[in-house]
Structure 1
Amino acid sequence: MKFINNPEKYNRWYLSQYGSWVGQLEFSLLSQLIPAVKNDSLLDVGSGSGYFSRKFADYGLNVTGIDPAPAMIDFANSQNSDIHYIIGNALELPFNKNEFDYSSAITSLCFIDKYQAALAEMWRVSKKGMVLGLLNRNSLLYWQKADTGSYKGSRWDTHRD
């Protein structure tokens, strides 16, 4: 599992003009995949800096974020005190079966070696479903960032994966 330990730099990308546009577009697509009603619960696995956790909370969901990197959790907590963030491992989620209505993993599975086990854990804790945002080897972002910065060493999936 790869940690990103510079949350300010990671989050700064979403504040740029291009990053803001991409983030809004991604969230617009992802939110269409969750037929959630206000106050449904969501576990954001690999919540990182909390960007998508905050978006889901603004969408009306009760969000819990989990990430293995303490620096990311500290940063996320500094951005929104209404979201509960914890340090934890996607392979051993410290929650009961069906504890959340939904779970999400947005560009986080690529940093988990045993992503199938993480998916099984997400399914275990979700009552209604999951939403995934995957990095694609055939995307423009891959060609721009593939083995650089925080994406160095990550796995980029193909449609066969």
Structure 2
Amino acid sequence: MTAQAGIAPGAATALHTEALLTNRCAAVYVAGELDLATAEQLVQTVRTCLAQRPGVVRVDVSELAFCDWYGLKTLLGLSLEARRAGTALTLAGTVRPQLARLLAATGADHLLTATGARAARAAGALEPAGRGHCPAPAAPPQPPQAPSGAPSARPAAVPEHAAA
């Protein structure tokens, strides 16, 4: 298992990424703001994961405080790049209302989020059982914390209709 972490240097907004890799799965944790100024940080992290040829890359957006249209474009581009490499890229964790609205408004929600058998098929993970999940490391990874001075990225309890 390999870990990678980074913060976009000199960015007006901050993004923190951390990746945990196994031979079959990559879990990418993202915290902060994903926009034009920070997108390259996520691109580099995901490309590093894709070079290892995992069956699936799960981008945990639970700590993503903000994502603009450029951030969404970046996620969609990475999803396409992953597919071309024979890997599925999906969003994982709690999708905050702002990102959920952006995904729904653009129709990209079905391209980046997948659950159940559809996600398992997309990841080529139907055999053997449980192959589509990253094995738990000895100590569970801690999601990255938003850089100091950034708004809290903890998900709030939101009514279901707000995410639609």
Q: What TM-score bracket applies, with the shorter chain setting the length?
A: 0.3 to 0.5
Name the one with the larger strand percent.
2
With structure 2 as the length reference, what TM-score do the two structures score? 0.38
TM-score normalized with structure 1 length: 0.39
Where relative contact order (Cα < 8 A, 6+ residues apart) is larger, the structure is 2
